[in-house]
């Protein structure tokens, strides 16, 4: 089977949790699956920007990205965060190749048109998965940071959830899993919803039940399902150990997002 796993939030800040996720991914590959790991790194980027004297600003869960912020994102996400994940997988005997969306022109972006303007924030408009297929043929895991090249030659910061959804759709993944620092999507009573139809997302948004970083995540879930990805689940990173059993057994953790 083909998996796309998105890793972000606390898992990237917690070495033990990161190692647990890397171990689960290595086991998935050992079981004969092809896995692509897409990662964020917003916390690390915010910390680095603060050291540089820049304040981070977010609108609807997306980072406002001027040229300096974009260049810092390239350094942090495609550098330290990406190579740390490659090392974590290597520590479990799993070969991995670190990339960003611009490498091999795997993903092409255009500026995201929003009001107000978000700067160098993009959205994926084209993909070429030949490099991913080549890496999989070698038994390795592509580790992809969430930046892509625009047709104008500029790098654009891509929301990592959107990047994961685009990757899953492009490579016709059987499953897309978001490993997060929350237990799942909560309803108005604060209870985790085990199943969520994409038809309910708009209503939950309008009622302010979901907000912030969950907005682009659920939008990404919806897009992935509508583009043919078979299963989409939001799963707590601390339970990454269930990944190898996700498509073969009933997993009662996180939120399964479905087409009604």
**Binding site for substrate: which residues?**
41-42, 63, 157
Residues annotated within the binding site are 41-42, 63, 157
Burial class from Cβ neighbours inside 10 Å (0-12, 13-18, 19+) for residue 250 reads: exposed
Q: Residue-wise over 91-111: b if at least 16 C-beta within 10 A, else e?
A: ebebebbbbbbbbbebbbbbb
Is the omega angle on the peptide bond into residue 114 within 30 degrees of 0, that is, cis?
A: no
Output the CA–CA distances (angstroms, integers) from residue 163 to 104, 107, 145, 171, 178, in the order listed: 16, 9, 9, 12, 11
Distance CA 126, CA 110 (A): 9
Residue (of 175, 172, 176, 171) closest to 160 by Cα position: 176
């Amino acid at each position: 089977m083909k998996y796309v796993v998105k890793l972000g939030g606390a898992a990237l800040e917690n070495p033990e949790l990161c190692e647990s996720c890397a171990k689960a991914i290595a086991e998935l590959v050992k079981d004969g699956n092809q896995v692509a790991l897409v990662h964020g790194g917003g916390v690390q980027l915010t910390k680095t920007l603060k050291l540089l004297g820049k304040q981070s600003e977010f609108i609807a869960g997306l980072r406002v990205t001027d040229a300096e912020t974009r260049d810092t994102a390239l350094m942090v996400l495609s550098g330290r965060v990406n190579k740390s994940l490659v090392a974590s997988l290597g520590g479990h005997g799993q070969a991995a190749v670190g990339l960003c969306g611009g490498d091999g022109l795997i993903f092409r972006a255009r500026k995201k048109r929003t009001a107000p303007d978000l700067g160098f924030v993009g959205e994926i408009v084209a993909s070429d998965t030949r490099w991913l297929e080549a890496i999989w043929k070698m038994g390795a895991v592509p580790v992809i940071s969430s930046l892509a090249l625009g047709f104008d030659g500029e790098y654009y910061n891509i929301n990592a959830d959107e990047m994961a959804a685009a990757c899953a759709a492009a490579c016709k993944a059987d499953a897309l899993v978001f490993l997060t620092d929350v237990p799942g999507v909560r309803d108005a009573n604060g209870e985790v919803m085990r199943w969520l139809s994409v038809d309910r997302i708009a209503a939950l948004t309008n009622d302010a039940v979901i907000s912030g970083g969950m907005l682009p995540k659920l939008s990404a879930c919806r897009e992935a399902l509508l583009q043919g990805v078979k299963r989409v689940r939001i799963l707590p990173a601390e339970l990454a150990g269930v990944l190898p059993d996700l498509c073969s057994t009933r997993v009662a953790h996180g939120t399964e997002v479905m087409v009604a």
